[in-house]
Amino acid sequence: MQHRTAEIKAYLINLQDQICDGLAKADGKAEFINDEWQRDEGGGGRSRVISDGGIFEKGGVNFSHVMGAGLPASATAARPELAGRSFQAMGVSLVMHPNNPYIPTSHMNVRFFIAEKPGEKPVWWFGGGFDLTPYYGFDEDCIHWHRVAKNACDCLGDEAYPKYKQWCDDYFYIKHRQEPRGIGGLFFDDLNEPGFDLSFEFMRSVGDAYLAAYLPIIEKRRSMSFGEHEKSFQKIRRGRYVEFNLVYDRGTLFGLQTGGRTESILMSLPAEVSWQYNWQPQAGTEEAKLTDYYLQSRDWLGCEQG
């Protein structure tokens, strides 16, 4: 398994570079800075961050490979068989926050986890996905995003996309707000049943699909004009993003509970955000349409066929 772990790590490092190159080219102004770090308990990573760019107000693409002698409560609560095992966790995780409110925030994560104990078979799985968080919705953007997501699932057969789309809708749901975080995409975890090779292939398919899903949306929306009204709404909606990441996100909780690097874990948070007491959009506005129409568990590819 050790040589396969090295193969996964090499893929993830290359994926981080490819994504940063593609996003920097789209931005056209700013470049990603590199920040390599080491973890006292074992492992480390490379955070690549962009800010104040032509497109991106703030964004980060993080690679990490961490290891330890024991797992935190967030990992063993639902998997008691993992208690007492050493572990390795590696992955690429990114969040991009554009300045223009008409360009959605995007998130992607692909990861591999293995827990080992002498004399027993290793326990391993892959996970990941990508999802889109618009502030002002466009049907064609949602359809395109989900079309790319469906294509990324082809290697696992016809049942994979509906399964992982629904999982994404369920996972990125802000329970205390009773609303989805965005328009979804894919989410999968604990993937090992297809076997190592096919599971790894699917993880690569998801990672490789991200730019194809996101860059065309950037190009369509980057020239749309906006003012303070749209920016104010964007900041309010970003508050929902912060709430989800700090309250529910497994990756954030795992990173904090394993003594991960705080700056890298919290790089997903936007630069500017606001909360206004009991703020509600005016009925019939584009701001109201976001929650009334777009932030619903919708069959976007069915919309395309219709």
Q: Which residues contact residue 172 at a Cβ distance below 8 angstroms, ignoring those fewer than 6 apart?
A: 131, 180, 181, 182, 184, 187, 244
Structure tokens given for 196 = 């190592």
Q: Determine the Cα–Cα distance for residues 60 and 62; give it in Å rounded to an integer.
A: 6
Q: Determine the Cα–Cα distance for residues 172 and 112; give it in Å rounded to an integer.
A: 20
CB 124 within 8 A of CB 114: yes
Structure tokens given for 75 = 């990992």
Q: Which 8-state DSSP code applies to residue 79?
A: -
Q: Is 107 a catalytic residue?
A: yes
DSSP codes joined into one string, 164-195: HHHHHHHHTEETTTTEESSSEEEEEEEE-TT-
Question: Of the listed 65, 97, 107, 146, which one is catalytic?
Answer: 107
3-state secondary structure of 111: strand
With 0-12 / 13-18 / 19 or more C-beta atoms within 10 angstroms meaning exposed / middle / buried, residue 228 is: exposed
3-state secondary structure of 58: strand
3-state secondary structure of 262: helix
With 0-12 / 13-18 / 19 or more C-beta atoms within 10 angstroms meaning exposed / middle / buried, residue 302 is: exposed
Catalytic residues, by residue number, are 107
